[in-house]
């Protein structure tokens, strides 16, 4: 290759992509030296090199105007790992670097020392980063996404040999009552829901409690760490070996149950432990399982550690903590310190002050769905949702019946791996499933209320539980019949919510669940979010404006799909025209508005009412206006089994119910049919907690990760705004999509009917 050609490549690397510049530059130098005898190449190479140098620096300068970036780092890995927290550029020796630029590195690793060195040489500032105290859902060594970092412009929190920004915060910060109240809330949430640094381990089981004799007296826990961990090196922990700590723990707690916990990175085989377990006293019980730390600490009275972050979690859980080093939480009057802390730590702190300083001021967090900055208080429920979904995900083979081809793709984020779909066109689904490995260790899922008598009989005989799946109550922006992906599904192991002939899991929850204070607080907040956001099940209509009736009572009649299972079973096959007639009979002087079901209007489903006939009993037929707008306008709602009845209840509206939906029978609606299995009256918040928080599962539209109801509502709001904005091209594409989907379904239905 000619030198000039190679140098042109160097020029391109300078301008567009500097990641590979270092290697390319070395190769360039070698080739350039080999061609010194050709003066034309020499001059041309020199000219292109100068242009490259100018071009790169010009790019840096222009980038400063066009896009914000936070600073520089020598580490490509660091730049990639923290891209959601900071926009960094890779440092290049010949780059134009302005004064007061920031240089980022990782703690006491090479990139951290590089950052300090560059800041000193170039009159800039350094920023040392480390994992936050609630890092991720999964181990960092396994590549789990980073959700929290700490940033320090003085030192780093685990280095007690010199000051750090965290030390300065804890020594000087004036903690407000509001901040401390939030700190108590976060601590309580962490303890209640077992939130820890990695959130990848299951909670301790009763079997393990008995195995390790945690229910028989005083329990002492020794926390081992990974060999060579930076927090050991810089926390004065070298005076004691972990084996010495074991001996002290035994001597200081005669007759106690002494346990040793190995670090999760050591258990996973990714790192080496700091203790030799082959040389331990016989009475020590080694915890070999990867157990959620908080769930374990609830059974512990006292912990012994050098500098583990689990020591601080022990303090949060109310345990005594003996420190054989100087971690960030030592020296503030909360721990039993066997190594003297620096004189800089000369203040006594309450546990919530220490927590607020470390977890809420010092640490930074990002939203796991949007990648935007967030607070710990908002992040904790999100982590809990993702954690529980992953821990509850079964590795068993799952057989799915009644799932059409388009449904197969959207079920993956809800159920994970090992899925086997049985064709909806199969004449003998059970036979095919058995050929594909169905056995009594398998999991069986059926869409909706589809009946498989042979499969049901086989499952009953073999002790296999059937779980039925349906759309949730906050589904999507767009109709299910238009093949729009659902972001909420329900999984019912007892029945299904719309079939009131049998108990469903939702009915069981509403009858017997003891709602926690957190669930009721979340329900109250969710109620406000639902009302203010105007988000409902499908969100396919514009919000629109509809005129009031000058003080006249407005009754809203909600049409449904007449061949829908919820209507056939829950309303005994009642027709929409009958519903309108009943509304007029019960509200003779009201201004009655009839809203047809969107699936019926689209032509996808059955239930169309003759307009002339309907207007004999109602005053107005409204289409194209969103359900939340109509619910806000109406004084009372008439429905058979529609979920919109629930949306009306949460708005405090009077609801007259002519069927047996899941939300009726709890003392919140005027029910025209009896529901004898509904045993108690509920508050609106209890109904919301059961129906929206506990029963369904949600995934986020951005990354299809498990989420909670409020996160989905905010995401659907954004989708709705984008769909309803003035982007004519997007609207046109969406309209064409709907036409093709609806025409295609009609052709397929007609074909199947003829066949």
Q: Which long-range contacts (CB under 8 A, 24 or more apart) does 647-652 make?
A: 647/530, 647/536, 648/556, 649/684, 649/687, 650/527, 650/530, 650/531, 650/684, 650/687, 650/688, 651/531, 652/684
| Predicted confidence (pLDDT) at residue 226 exceeds the cutoff of 80 | no
Could you identify the residue written with the tokens 């109620």?
Answer: 527
Per-residue pLDDT, 721:
77
Per-residue pLDDT, 424:
87
Per-residue pLDDT, 333:
96
Per-residue pLDDT, 601:
79
Quickly state the pLDDT bin for 35 (edges 50, 70, 90): low
Domain locations in the chain as residue ranges: 3-66, 168-385, 387-511, 536-700, 725-755
CATH code, 168-385: 3.40.50
Quickly state the pLDDT bin for 753 (edges 50, 70, 90): very low
This prediction has a pTM of 0.82
| Predicted confidence (pLDDT) at residue 44 exceeds the cutoff of 70 | no
CATH code, 536-700: 3.40.50
Per-residue pLDDT, 42:
58
Q: What are the angstrom distances between the C-alpha of 486 and each of 411, 441, 496, 626?
A: 9, 29, 17, 18
Indicate the SS3 state at residue 266. helix
Alpha-helical regions (H) of 67-164: 76-81, 110-121
Burial of 698 (0-12, 13-18, 19+ CB in 10 A): buried
CA distance 732 to 744: 18
Residue 156 backbone zone (phi > 0: left; psi -120 to 50: alpha; other: beta): beta
Q: Which tops the pLDDT comparison, 38 or 286?
A: 286
Per-residue pLDDT, 20:
43
Per-residue pLDDT, 272:
72
Provide, rounded to the nearest whole percent, the portion of the chain with pLDDT above 90.
62
Per-residue pLDDT, 476:
77
State the number of CA atoms in the 13 A half-sphere of 642 facing the CB: 31
What is the bridge-based pairing of β-strands 148-152 and 125-131?
A: antiparallel
The stretch 702-720 carries a mean pLDDT of 91
Q: What is the pLDDT of residues 327-386, one digit of tens each?
A: 999 999 999 999 999 999 999 999 999 999 999 999 999 999 999 999 999 999 999 999
Per-residue pLDDT, 5:
47
Q: Which tops the pLDDT comparison, 464 or 597?
A: 464
| Predicted confidence (pLDDT) at residue 728 exceeds the cutoff of 70 | no
Quickly state the pLDDT bin for 545 (edges 50, 70, 90): low
Q: Which tops the pLDDT comparison, 174 or 482?
A: 174
Least confident range of 207-211, 281-285, 638-642: 281-285
Tokens of 425: 């066109």
CA distance 669 to 658: 10
Burial of 699 (0-12, 13-18, 19+ CB in 10 A): buried
Contact between 589 and 553 (Cβ < 8 Å):
yes
Q: What is the pLDDT of residues 290-302, one digit of tens each?
A: 899 999 999 999 9
Quickly state the pLDDT bin for 597 (edges 50, 70, 90): confident
Per-residue pLDDT, 61:
52
CA distance 390 to 477: 26
The stretch 426-446 carries a mean pLDDT of 95
Burial of 685 (0-12, 13-18, 19+ CB in 10 A): buried
Could you identify the residue written with the tokens 């009642």?
Answer: 574
What is the bridge-based pairing of β-strands 363-366 and 148-152?
A: antiparallel
Burial string for 269-304 (b: 16+ CB within 10 Å, else e) reads eebebbbeeeebeeebbebebbbbbbbbbbbbbbbb
Q: Which tops the pLDDT comparison, 505 or 597?
A: 505
| Predicted confidence (pLDDT) at residue 510 exceeds the cutoff of 50 | yes
Backbone Cα Rg of the chain: 32
Per-residue pLDDT, 129:
97
CA geometry: angle 298, 301, 307, nearest 5 deg = 90
CA distance 751 to 521: 51
| Predicted confidence (pLDDT) at residue 52 exceeds the cutoff of 70 | no
Per-residue pLDDT, 7:
46
Task: State the DSSP code for 452.
Answer: -
Quickly state the pLDDT bin for 54 (edges 50, 70, 90): low
Tokens of 653: 């509206």
CA distance 165 to 445: 53
pLDDT, averaged across the chain: 86
| Predicted confidence (pLDDT) at residue 126 exceeds the cutoff of 60 | yes
CA distance 674 to 651: 24
Query: Hey, what CATH topology would domain 387-511 get?
Result: Rossmann fold (3.40.50)
CA distance 79 to 114: 14
Sign of CA dihedral 162, 164, 170, 174: positive
Tokens of 553: 């009572």
CA distance 339 to 342: 9
Quickly state the pLDDT bin for 243 (edges 50, 70, 90): confident
Please determine whether the domains at 387-511 and 536-700 fall in the same fold group of CATH. Answer: yes
Q: Which tops the pLDDT comparison, 506 or 246?
A: 506
Per-residue pLDDT, 18:
43
CA distance 296 to 208: 10
């Amino acid at each position: 290759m000619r030198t000039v050609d190679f140098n042109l490549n160097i020029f391109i690397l300078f301008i567009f992509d500097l990641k590979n510049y270092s290697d390319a530059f070395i190769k360039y130098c070698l080739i350039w030296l080999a061609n010194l005898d050709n003066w034309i190449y020499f001059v041309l190479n020199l000219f292109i090199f100068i242009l490259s140098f100018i071009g790169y620096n010009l790019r840096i300068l222009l980038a400063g105007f066009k896009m914000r970036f936070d600073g520089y780092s020598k580490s490509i890995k660091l730049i990639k790992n923290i891209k959601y927290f900071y926009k960094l550029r890779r440092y290049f020796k010949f780059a134009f670097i302005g004064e007061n630029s920031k240089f980022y590195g990782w703690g006491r690793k090479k990139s951290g020392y590089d950052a300090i060195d560059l800041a000193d040489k170039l009159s800039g500032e350094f920023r040392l980063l480390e994992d936050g105290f609630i890092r991720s859902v999964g181990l960092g060594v396994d590549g789990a996404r980073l959700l929290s970092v700490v940033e320090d412009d003085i030192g780093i929190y685990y280095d007690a040999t010199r000051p750090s920004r965290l030390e300065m915060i804890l020594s000087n910060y004036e903690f407000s009552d509001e901040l401390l109240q939030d700190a108590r809330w976060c601590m309580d949430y962490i303890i209640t829901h077992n939130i820890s640094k990695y959130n990848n381990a299951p909670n301790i089981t009763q079997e393990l409690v008995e195995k390790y004799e945690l229910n028989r007296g005083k329990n002492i826990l020794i926390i081992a760490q990974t060999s060579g961990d930076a927090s050991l090196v810089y926390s004065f922990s070298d005076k004691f070996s972990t084996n010495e700590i074991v001996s002290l723990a035994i001597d200081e707690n005669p007759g106690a149950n002494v346990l040793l916990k190995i670090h999760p990175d050591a258990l996973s085989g990714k790192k080496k432990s700091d203790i030799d377990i082959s040389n331990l006293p016989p009475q020590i019980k080694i915890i070999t399982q990867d157990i959620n730390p908080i769930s374990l600490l609830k059974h512990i009275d006292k912990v012994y550690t050098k500098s583990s972050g689990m020591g601080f979690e022990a303090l949060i859980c109310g345990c005594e903590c003996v420190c054989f080093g100087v971690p960030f939480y030592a020296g503030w009057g909360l721990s039993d310190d066997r190594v003297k802390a620096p004189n800089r730590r000369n203040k006594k702190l309450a546990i919530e002050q220490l927590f607020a300083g470390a977890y809420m001021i010092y640490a930074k967090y990002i939203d796991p769905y949007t990648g935007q900055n967030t607070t710990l208080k908002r992040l904790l429920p999100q982590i809990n949702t993702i954690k529980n979904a992953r821990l509850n995900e079964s590795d068993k083979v799952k057989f799915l019946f009644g799932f059409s081809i388009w449904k197969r793709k959207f079920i993956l984020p809800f159920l994970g791996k090992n899925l086997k779909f049985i064709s909806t066109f199969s004449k003998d689904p059970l036979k095919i499933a058995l050929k594909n490995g169905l056995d009594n260790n398998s999991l069986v899922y059926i869409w909706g209320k589809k009946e498989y008598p042979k499969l049901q009989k086989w499952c009953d005989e073999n002790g296999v539980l059937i779980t039925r799946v349906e759309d949730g109550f906050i589904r999507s922006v767009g109709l299910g019949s238009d093949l729009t992906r659902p972001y909420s599904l329900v999984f019912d192991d007892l029945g299904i919510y719309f079939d009131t002939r049998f108990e469903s899991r939702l009915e069981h929850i509403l009858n017997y669940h003891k709602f926690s204070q957190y669930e009721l607080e979340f329900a109250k907040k969710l109620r406000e979010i639902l009302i203010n956001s105007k988000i409902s099940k499908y969100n396919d209509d514009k919000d629109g404006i509809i005129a009031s009736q000058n003080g006249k009572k407005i009754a809203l009649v909600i049409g449904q799909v007449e061949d829908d299972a919820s209507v056939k079973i829950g309303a005994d096959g009642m027709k929409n025209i009958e519903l309108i007639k009943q509304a007029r009979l019960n509200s003779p002087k009201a201004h009655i508005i009839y809203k047809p079901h969107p699936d019926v209007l689209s032509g996808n489903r059955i239930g169309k009412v003759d307009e002339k006939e309907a207007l004999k009993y109602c005053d107005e037929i409204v289409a194209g206006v969103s359900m939340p707008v109509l619910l806000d306008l109406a004084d009372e709602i008439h429905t058979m089994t529609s979920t919109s009845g629930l949306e009306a209840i949460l708005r405090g509206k009077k609801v007259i119910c002519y069927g047996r939906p899941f939300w009726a029978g709890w003392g919140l609606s005027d029910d025209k049919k009896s529901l004898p299995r509904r045993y108690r009256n509920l508050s609106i918040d209890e109904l919301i907690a059961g129906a929206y928080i506990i029963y369904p599962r949600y995934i986020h539209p951005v990354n299809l990760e498990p989420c909670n109801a409020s996160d989905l509502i905010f995401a659907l709001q954004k989708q709705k705004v984008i769909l309803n904005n003035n982007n004519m091209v997007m609207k046109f594409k969406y309209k064409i999509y709907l036409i093709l989907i609806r025409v295609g379904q009609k052709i397929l239905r007609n074909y199947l009917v003829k066949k």
